[in-house]
Amino acid sequence: MKVLVIGANGQVGKQLVELLGKSEHEVTAMVRDTDQIPTMEKLSAKTVTGNLEKDFSHAVAGADAVIFTAGSGAHTGYDKTILIDQEGAIKAMDTAKSLGVKRFIMLSSIIPKRLADAPESMKPYYAAKNRADEYLKGTNLDYTIVRPGRLTNEPGSGKIDAAVSLGYKSSIPRADVAHVLFETLEQENTYSKTFEILSGDDSISKALRNV
Ligand code: NAP
């Protein structure tokens, strides 16, 4: 499959690109800075420059699948949360639809059931992620929405829990999140599904079979 990773230079994105680069898939890494190209090439990825705040349809053209791992990060204002996590994600979905790309995997986040219960500073983030997820559910894309809890840089254990609702009980290493996105790609039982993931007891393949 020709797979475009949006957010490829991110901490999850890079690990996902590496897995795809070692697989039978053909991976294209979308980065927004030409300085990031050598890193992606070392991971056996083709590279395309593109920015979610501009037109990036050239990056999506020709892909069979898009995996969205981008995010505005904790050090930008709410304006970027809306522009990247919400509007950038929606633009990626619209672009995929218009160019005939069917498979779309969204790296989202566990979102509190009631936004009112979230810390004030996190409300715009959760609202943006939720809006993008709801938009994706309304498309005819073969989507999967993966919602991890707090991300860590611990080594991956390969063991997770995955379910529609887990809540913020624990965290999950970014390495395991990358593996989940990788394995989800061709797992058709995850089409049209939204599920949460945390470190847990099951192998990633077993957990994904049961979502
Ligand atoms: P990260 O390291 O901050 O990576 C985000 C990537 O998005 C970066 O590569 C960044 O590019 C890219 N990006 C930002 N703005 C862009 C734009 N305008 N155009 C194109 N690319 C852009 O994030 P992470 O740690 O891998 O996390 C990935 C996702 O998981 C995020 O969406 C985050 O919200 C979500 N998440 C995080 C947590 C947590 O505990 N932190 C929990 C649940 C879910 P540059 O490399 O050029 O900066």
What pLDDT score was predicted for residue 151?
A: 98
Compute, in angstroms, the gap from residue 70 CA to the centroid of ligand 1.
4
What's phi and psi for 72, nearest 5 deg? -75, -15
Query: Tokens 């979502």 sit at which residue?
Result: 211
What pLDDT score was predicted for residue 6?
A: 98
3-state secondary structure of 56: coil
What pLDDT score was predicted for residue 181?
A: 98
Query: Tokens 């633009």 sit at which residue?
Result: 91
Give the DSSP letter string of 14-70: HHHHHHHHTSSSEEEEEES-GGGHHHHHHTT-EEEE--TTS--HHHHTT-SEEEE--
What pLDDT score was predicted for residue 41?
A: 96
Q: Is residue 151 in contact with ligand 1, taking CB distance under 6 Å? A: yes
Contact between 138 and 177 (Cβ < 8 Å):
no
Catalytic residue ranges: 125
Ligand 1, atom 44: closest residue by C-alpha: 109
Q: Which of 151, 168, 169, 170 to mutate to test the pocket of ligand 1 (most atoms within 8 A of CB)?
A: 151
Structure tokens of 113?
């059931």
Which atom belonging to ligand 1 lies closest to the Cα atom of 33?
A: 47
| Rounded-to-integer distance, Cα 93 and Cα 183, Å | 21
Q: Is residue 27 in contact with ligand 1, taking CB distance under 6 Å? A: no
What's the half-sphere exposure (Cβ side, CA atoms, 13 Å) at 96?
Answer: 29
Q: Which of 9, 35, 51, 87 to mutate to test the pocket of ligand 1 (most atoms within 8 A of CB)?
A: 9
Q: Is residue 150 in contact with ligand 1, taking CB distance under 6 Å? A: yes
Query: Max Cα separation, the chain?
Result: 44
Compute, in angstroms, the gap from residue 8 CA to the centroid of ligand 1.
9
Q: Is residue 200 in contact with ligand 1, taking CB distance under 6 Å? A: no
- Model pTM score: 0.98
List, for residues 73-95, the tens digit of each pLDDT value: 989 999 999 999 999 999 999 99
Q: How confident is the model at residue 167 (pLDDT cuts 50, 70, 90)?
A: confident
